[in-house]
């Protein structure tokens, strides 16, 4: 459970069929380190990774993030992505705030905000 003032981040990277198994392992390590650095900068209090098939997933708890901070963090990951790799990060704030989802690939970042009722 998390307190108001903190957000839960759930993110994933999907690797397309054009990514070889060897490159998948390389990218997995590169992206894990980049995510750890970015979330450390945000003051993450929790971070865990899991892999399943062509996906690398992570969950984290961080102090509340603005939509702009989420967009900037995803933009910083773009240069690390090969063609055929895409990601998304869902930011769920405590206290039933708006939920932000960032979809990103080498083509850029698209941010969607789901307004709280």
Kindly report the CATH number assigned to the domain that includes residue 58.
3.30.70.2730
At 2-37, the pLDDT tens digits run 456 899 999 999 999 999 989 999 999 999 999 999
- Report if residue 39 sits inside a domain: yes
In a domain, 50, yes or no: yes
Average pLDDT over residues 87-92: 97
Residue 109 falls inside a structural domain: yes
Residue 42 token pair = 């945000």
Beta bridge partners of 63: 6
In a domain, residue 57? The reply is: yes
> E strands along the chain, which residues?
6-15, 46-52, 55-63, 85-93, 99-105, 108-114
Number of domains within the chain: 1
For position 96, what pLDDT does the model report? 86
**Does the predicted TM-score (pTM) go above 0.75?**
yes
R_g of the chain computed on alpha carbons: 14
Residue 1, in any domain of the structure: no
Give residue 71's domain range.
6-114
The SS3 assignment for 113 reads: strand
């Amino acid at each position: 459970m998390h307190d108001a003032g903190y957000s839960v981040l759930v993110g994933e990277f999907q690797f397309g069929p054009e990514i070889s198994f060897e490159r998948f392992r390389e990218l997995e390590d590169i992206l894990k380190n980049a995510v750890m650095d970015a979330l450390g900068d945000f003051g993450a209090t929790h971070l865990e990774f899991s892999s399943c098939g062509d996906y690398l997933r992570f969950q984290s708890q961080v102090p509340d993030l603005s939509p702009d901070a989420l967009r900037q963090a995803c933009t910083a990951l773009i240069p690390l992505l090969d063609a055929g790799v895409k990601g998304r990060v869902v930011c769920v704030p405590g206290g039933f705030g708006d939920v932000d989802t960032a979809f990103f690939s080498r083509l850029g970042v698209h941010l969607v905000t789901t307004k709280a009722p």
